[in-house]
Structure formats: structure tokens, C-alpha cells
Amino acid sequence: MITIANTDSIVLIERNPDHKMKINLLQLTHEEAKNRLKQAWQTEGEKVFVDCDEDAFLLENRTQTSFNDLTLLWENGKDNVSSDLKSKVLEKAPDLFPMFAMDRSGTALMLAWGRPESITQAIASGKGTYFSRSRNKKWVKGEDSGHLQILERIWLSLSPFYIVYETYQMGAACHTGYYSCFFRQISEDKDPIFLYKNKIEEIK
């Protein structure tokens, strides 16, 4: 059985698996997350996946019809919005916000956190850039392991505020060695199902 992390900063990502950019991202308390997961397990056809830290959950449902509006900020090295709009976006950004990464096929890779400067750093470098809450500093995914994220597109939701990276993932997205942090499908009364048979070795 999976235990939800003991925090009031649980992130749920609701998505239609047939349409990779149709996403809802919710920040919930521990109790709210428990209730939403229970609802998901009682909904026919809804699948639930948990990340390695058990504080982010991916809910996939083909009948999902309501989604957040996403704006394409950047694509393959070029801004897709004006400099004025980008500046306004950065001014409105919270001090800390969720950042969701998926690969080019739509496979969910990870959920991390960012600051406004994470966006500008990612645009400048073209690499998946976040803010590490545990280390209290900038974090470029794969900087030490070689498991870099080479960004292809950066999407923005304003309400609620979060970022979506579409990326080419070199090696594993998860520090456990699995390709995706969402490597377990979970249900209410059964053991988790592991989605990957093997881990990915360090890139030399």
C-alpha cells in the first residue's frame, strides 16, 4: 500500500492520456488528496500513478473534459510570446510553483518545483531547470548524472500557475533509476504495479 506523504503540498495531475496537453494540475492538502484519490479509485477507467516521493499523483481518465488553458512560451530555442508578455508572466509568477515534465510522446516524467528564474534559466540553456527545495538552490536535472532533459517546448498555465516541460529525456528522469518518477500504478486495496522491469544505468 502507498502512504501519501505527510505534507499539505500534494500535487495531483489530472490528464486525458489520449491528449497529452489536456492537463489539470491541483495543489491539495493531505486530506483533500486522500479524498480525491478515493474518488479516483471508485471511478471506472481512472488510473492512478504515484511518484517516487509519494507527494505527486498522476490521474488518467479518458472521459476527463475540463482542462487548464496552456500557453506555449518557448519552442526549440525560440520564444513564442513577446518579450513584454514574458516579462509580465515572470512578474506574476509565485515565488514557488509546480513544474511538470513529460517526454515528446507524452509520458509523464516528473513533478518538481521552480522559481521565476527557473523559467528564464531553462529558456537560456534549453535544459530542464528547477529549484531544489531540499538543497535550496537551482537544480538542472541530470547535471551530475548525465540524465539531462533537453527541452523542446515550455508551456504555461496562469490559473493555477505552473509550467509544463516537453523534453527529450536522456536516461532516467527519476533518481531511483527508473525512466519516469511515476513508475508505480496504485489502487486502494492492492499492491502497486511497477511499470518498468529495469532501471537505467548511469550515463558516462
Q: How many domains does the chain have?
A: 2
Q: What is the pLDDT along the chain (204 residues), one digit of tens a residue?
A: 677 888 888 999 999 999 999 999 999 999 999 999 999 999 999 999 999 999 999 999 998 888 999 999 999 999 999 999 999 999 989 999 999 999 999 999 999 999 999 999 999 999 999 999 999 999 999 999 999 999 999 999 999 999 999 999 999 999 999 999 999 999 988 899 999 989 986 554
Are 120 and 136 within one domain? yes
The residue segments making up the domain with residue 34 are: 10-65+177-194
Are 61 and 116 within one domain? no
In a domain, 202, yes or no: no
In a domain, 1, yes or no: no
Q: What is the CATH number of the domain that holds 106?
A: 3.10.20.810
Are 157 and 92 within one domain? yes
C-alpha 108: how far from its chain's center? 7
In a domain, 2, yes or no: no
107 backbone φψ class: left, alpha, beta (φ>0; ψ -120 to 50): beta
pTM greater than 0.75 (yes/no): yes
